[in-house]
Amino acid sequence: MGAAVAVIVRKQREIVEVFEGARATAPDLARFPDELGIDESHIFHGLVRRAVLRPVGDGRYYVDEPSWVAMRDMRRRRVLVMLIVVAALVVGLALAAGTRF
């Protein structure tokens, strides 16, 4: 499962980087995905659902950079919380194992 998540995250980043590279970062600079070589895949539509890629109504999209930053920051916070929980479990198990007779 972790490998699948890593692939999705990488593909999301690649899509955003293509739009950023084409300077499609505002409604008046929106671009068609196919002209950028982007397939409108499940991952693409996930970015649209999360408002990272915003449609302008004629099939063109642009990157909403604040939404992209917010999504990345939320992902990082989730990973940090998960690591803290795992560390707490490891410490708790180590302490419990050390107190048995």
Q: What is the mean pLDDT of the chain?
A: 91
pLDDT digits (tens, 9 = 90+) for 26-60: 999 999 999 999 999 999 999 999 999 999 989 99
Find where tokens 């068609």 sit: 32
What pLDDT, on the 0 to 100 scale, is given for residue 98? 79
What pLDDT, on the 0 to 100 scale, is given for residue 100? 60
Calculate the alpha carbon distances from 59 to 16, 35, 88 in Å: 16, 11, 48
Q: Would you say 36 and 22 are in contact if contact means Cβ atoms under 8 Å apart? A: yes
Give dist(CA 12, CA 5) in Å, integer: 11
